[in-house]
Structures are given as structure tokens and as C-alpha cells.
Amino acid sequence: MPAELPDDQRPATLEDVKGLRRWVIVAGVWAVAATALAVIALLKPAEQDPDTAAAASRSVNRLQDRLDERFEQLDSRVGRLPRSSDVRRLGDRLQGIEARGGQAGEDAKAARDTIGRLQDRVEKVEQAQERQGRSSNGGGRSGGRSGGRDTSPQSSGGQPQN
């Protein structure tokens, strides 16, 4: 197992990138808000009447509210994204399920093979019973099976009857 790398040489994880993205969004929102305030301040005439100042203030407040709302939406979307540990656990579970599925297929094939062998054995036992029954009932009779004889494996216990 390789030795642990120092923090400055360790590759960034998915969570590191998500955290960085969140702070870049925050910085972007504040940069847009600061730019809007600067533009308003530059365009504002030196002597401004109170109504215009109040309207500008309301406009800036609405802009800031919209930016805050947008930031909260983005933050909640980033927060809903799965963590790398969740994705890793899900991948591990999926690999386990695939392995069990492969094993189940192998088990089913083995069961089919066993059933086929058992059916062959039952047929051989039934044929042996028929031959024995014909030989004990007079040898050369041409009738095939005897009338009401049950040749199922349950009736004979899987063994030729004597």
C-alpha cells in the first residue's frame, strides 16, 4: 500500500472541487453586487434629489435580493449533489450485486445439470424395472407395460423393485 502523500501533493477529491465551486459562486455573486453598486455610484449625479436616491436604493436592494436568492438556489443544488463517499459506497454495492448475480447464474446452471443427471438416472431405473418386470412375468410376453403398475420414482423409492 503506498504511503500517504502530504496535503500539498495529494490530488483533489470530488468534495474538494465542490467546496471550491461553492466559494467561487459566492465570490461571483459578491463581485456582481459590488459592480452594480459601483456603476450606480458612478452614474449618480453629484446633487441628487431624495426620490431618485430612494429609487436607486430600492433598485440596488432588489438586485441584491435577487442575487441572494440565486446564490441560495445554487448552494442548495450543490448541496444536493452526492458526496464522493456515497458514490463509492454505491459502486461497491453494485459490484457486490453483480458478483452475487454471476454466482446465482452459476448455481442455476449447476442445478440444471444435476436435475438432468437425476432424470437420466430415473429413466435408467424405470427401464431396469420394466426389463425385470417383463422377465419375471413370463419372459417373452408382448404387451409392454403391465396394466396398473406405477413406475414413478416415489412408488419405488428410486430403486428397482425385486
pLDDT digits (tens, 9 = 90+) for 102-144: 888 888 899 999 999 999 999 999 999 998 888 887 655 444 4
Q: Is the pLDDT of residue 57 over 50?
A: yes
Return the sign of the alpha-carbon dihedral for residues 135, 139, 143, 147: negative
Residues with Cβ within 8 Å of residue 90, at least 6 apart in sequence: 82
Check if the beta carbon of residue 15 is closer than 8 Å to that of residue 88.
no
What's the pLDDT band for 67 if we cut at 50, 70, 90? confident
Cα–Cα distance measured from residue 70 to residue 154, given in angstroms and rounded to the nearest whole number:
76
pLDDT for 96 beyond 70: yes
Task: Give, as one character, the DSSP assignment of residue 46.
Answer: S
Cβ-proximal residues to 130 (8 Å cutoff; 6+ apart), any chain: 145, 151
Residue type (1 letter), 121: R
The more confidently predicted of residues 93 and 40 is 93
Helix residue spans in the chain (DSSP H): 14-43, 50-80, 84-136, 153-156
pTM over 0.95: no
Domain locations in the chain as residue ranges: 14-43+54-81
Q: How far apart are CA 44 and CA 38, in angstroms?
A: 10
